Structure formats: C-alpha cells, structure tokens
Amino acid sequence: MSTHNVWTHKGTFLLAAVGSAVGLGNLWRFPYLTGENGGGAFILVYALTIFAVGIPILIAEIMLGRNSRRSPIMGMRFLTRTHQTSRAWESIGWLGAASAFLILSFYSVIAGWAIHYTGLMLTGGMADIDAAGAGQSFDALLASPMLLTLYHTLFIAASALIVGLGIHKGIESGLRLLMPSLFVILLVVLGYGAVVGDIGAAASFLFTFNLADLSLEGWLEAMGQSFFTLSLGMGAIMAYGAYMPGESSLTRTAFAIAVVDTAVAMVAGLAIFSLVFGSGLNPGEGPGLMFVTLPLAFAEMPGGALVGGVFFLLVLGAAISSSISLIEPVAAFLVERFDLTRPQAVIMMVIASWALGLLTVVSFNLWAEGTLFHTLFGRSAFGLIEMLTNIFMPLGGLMIALFAGWALTHSEVMKEMHTNERWFRLWRFLVRFVAPAAVAFVFLRSIPQVEGYLIPAIGAVVIVGAFAAGRTFLADDSQQQ
C-alpha cells in the first residue's frame, strides 16, 4: 500500500511538486499572458493571488495527503470518517482522480508532438524552413492520426514505466535526474537566446510595468493561472503529500514550490521570446508558439537545429514530470482499494487513459470542425474533455479549501504546519474565505453557460461576502483568545 511509502529525502517532495507544476503551461501560456497583460503589473497581481489563493490551497492539499497517508480517494474517505463529516466530501478525491485521468488522456497526445519536433530538429528536418513551411509541417502532423497515436503511445508508455517502477526506484529516482537536467537545459537555452536573440525586447515584453494593459480579464487570467499552475485540485499534490516526511515544513515547501514554478515560467519566457523577437517574429501562445513560431526562429539562427532539439527535450521532460503526477493518484487508489501490484495498477490506468486519448487524436483530423461530433456537441472531443477538467479542478480546489479550513481542528493543523499562531490564523482566514471566493471565480468562468458579464458581478458579491465573514471570524477568534 502507498500509505507505507515516504520520500527518502525531504527535498524529494519539492522536486515532485515542482515537477507536477512545471509543465507545458509554464512554457507556452504564462509568459504570453504576462506580456499581453501589462508585464510587471500582471506579475504583481499574479504574485498577490498566488499568496492569497494558490499557496493556502497548496498547503491545504498537501496537509490532507500527509494527514491521511493514503491516495486522494481513500484518504478523503478516511478523513470524512475520522472527522465525522458528510461523505459528500469524499468527492474531493474522486474529482481529483477524474481530473488527473482526463488530463493525462489529452496531455499525452499534445506532449507527444514534442517527440516529433525533437526528431525534426536533431535530423535537420526544419533547416532553412520559412513561415509557410513551418505552418504546413505542424498541420501535416495534426492531420495524421497514425503519427499522433504513435507519439501518444510512446509518451504515455514512458510515463507509465517511471511510475510503475515504484515511489523510490521510479518516481523519486526519475525526478532527481529529470528536474536538475531541465533546469540546466533551460539555462542553456536562455544563454543561447541572450547571445543570438533579442533578450532586451523579451525583458521589456515580460517585465515593463504597464497598468493600462491590465484589464479585468487580465486579473481573472492571473487568478486562474495562480490556481492551475500549481496543479491544484487534480489529486497529484495530495498523492505526493501522502509520502511527505512528517517533519518537513508545509509552509516553506509551499512557498518554495510557488517561487520555483514562477521562476521557471519567467526564465522560459525570457528564453523563448528572446528567440522570437530576435527573429523578428510576433509573440503568441499555445501550440502555435511552440510548434510553429519557435521552430521557425531556430531555423534562422546559428546552431539553431541543435539548440532546438535540446529545447524540445526540455519540453518533453517538463511534460513527463507532469504526466507521472497525473498517473499516481489513480494508480495509488487501485493499489489500495483492490490490492493490485503497482505495475498492474499503472497498466490499467494508463491503458484506459490512452484509449480516451484517441478521442483527442481524432479531434485534430477525422473528427475536426465540421464533422458530426463537432456539430452535435458544439466543440471537439478534445475541447469537451478539456472543459470538464476546467470544471472539476476548481470545484475540487474549492472543496479542498473549505474542508481543510473548517473540518480540520486547530491542533491538527498546527501539528502539520509546524508554525506560529499568527501565520496559522492568516492561513485559516485565507483558506476559509479568500481562496474559496477566488476559486469560485475560476469555477464560474469554466462554465460555458455563464455569460462573461455576469462573472464580475457574481464574483464581487462573493468576495465582499467572504471578506465580511472573514472580519467577523477574526473578531470572534480574537475574543476567544
């Protein structure tokens, strides 16, 4: 059972959590959001929301995992019984496991594209390519269900192998090799961008403080990013927390995860956009930035093929460090609930997620826009699965905050946090009132039926109510002391 496992070193949980948090979003989404939403102004808002929302929920999720010493599903079942709360709280574990399962299915497909581009770069397949050729190359990849399935299979099999080897021989050993390697590669690419690219333009794009460019939508993006970037609400942090040594500081670890995750995104942004601007290309986000714009930038620079290949190895490594954290919550549950061996549990989970991933594969070709599926559901199969995860994760995060804030006792929390009374009271205020209000924002935005203009109004009411309740709570708390 996974309850018997504890990381052999205190720093391993930090590596594992950072590995889960650092993924494709750090490379192609966060830097672009920063540049387009006021640079330094966006970073300031993001830092505030990370402190008020991300870190309190991160501490809460780790705490639930370490307190139960079980997989997310079995752990929440244990905690609801020991705290005599409603069994409805068990849905925290199920929502996390469902999110991890669904995300892995499409994440593996998208991450598999990096295998293709690593090969193209290292073999010179993208040398002297122009803008039209770069776009056609990516379109040709998406149009081939056979190629996408092959890369999807290779990627998910590699992830499964690491997790199947166990907590220590697999995940722990893999992360100790993988994460330092990723940081070194990132610095190499940054150095390359500084020499041959335009790092000044990249720094200006990312860090110039421009409050006028920070719209309400930018605030909401910062709030959502502060939640999603830390891998909250998908069971991974809770599963890893179950293996965390009891003497490790939750607060210091949570702050370290947030700082490293943000630093990686910033360094990646500098590296990527120095190459983009150095080639005179326009910045963008998402797959277009990663698989069209960047290969074009590498093609125009000296030694670009080799550095490009190394860069896509970085993309692969970041994706694998995240994917193994997606396998673990479900695999740990299967081991505990059905007494399977770890390899059996991993194989069952991965085969099911791989099969679901085929829906994402055909979303880019056989079931693309204009086909029957798209007509019936108004979006692709990939879009439908992604929408579900964007609902499940914030809902799970909201429930994690409320359960940890209200069901866990003062003595339990103090025992887990190893902290002083002042930080405990601040954390409890944030996790009881501020974080749930903010995550409610994120949750409402994930529901297509909620019109955009309603979100600010509803969110404002929730936040005002939360702060009012918080002030009452603090007043009552001070009187009790």
Cα end-to-end span (Å), the chain: 42
Please state the rounded mean pLDDT for residues 51-64.
96
Tell me how many domains the chain contains. Answer: 1
Q: Is 400 inside a domain boundary?
A: no
pLDDT of residue 125 exceeding 80? yes
Please state the rounded mean pLDDT for residues 352-357.
98
pTM over 0.75: yes
Q: Model confidence over 143-163: pLDDT tens digits?
A: 999 999 999 999 999 999 999
Task: Give helix 342-363 / helix 381-406 axis angle, nearest 10°.
Answer: 130
Q: Which two tokens stand for residue 312?
A: 């896509």
Other beta carbons less than 10 A from residue 286's beta carbon? 14
Q: Is 2 inside a domain boundary?
A: no
Q: Is 193 inside a domain boundary?
A: yes
Specify the CATH number for the domain of residue 217. 1.10.4160.10
Average pLDDT, the chain: 89
pLDDT of residue 124 exceeding 70? yes
Confidence band of 481 (pLDDT split at 50, 70, 90): very low
Confidence band of 471 (pLDDT split at 50, 70, 90): low
Q: Is 437 inside a domain boundary?
A: no
Q: Is 459 inside a domain boundary?
A: no
Q: CA-to-CA distance for 120 and 126, rounded, in angstroms?
A: 6
Other beta carbons less than 10 A from residue 81's beta carbon? 11
pLDDT of residue 118 exceeding 80? yes
Full residue range of the structural domain in which residue 258 is found? 11-393
Q: Which two tokens stand for residue 57?
A: 């929920």
Alpha helices, H only, 229-292: 236-241, 250-278, 286-288
pLDDT of residue 461 exceeding 70? no
Q: Model confidence over 213-230: pLDDT tens digits?
A: 888 888 888 888 999 999
Query: Percent helix, strand and coil across the chain, each rounded to 5?
Result: 80, 0, 20
Q: Model confidence over 434-453: pLDDT tens digits?
A: 999 999 888 887 776 554 54
Q: Is 435 inside a domain boundary?
A: no
Q: Is 470 inside a domain boundary?
A: no
Q: Is 425 inside a domain boundary?
A: no
Please state the rounded mean pLDDT for residues 86-112.
96
Q: Model confidence over 277-289: pLDDT tens digits?
A: 999 998 887 888 9
Q: Single out the residue of 383, 464, 352, 408 nearest to residue 80, CA to CA.
A: 408
Q: Model confidence over 10-26: pLDDT tens digits?
A: 789 999 999 999 999 89
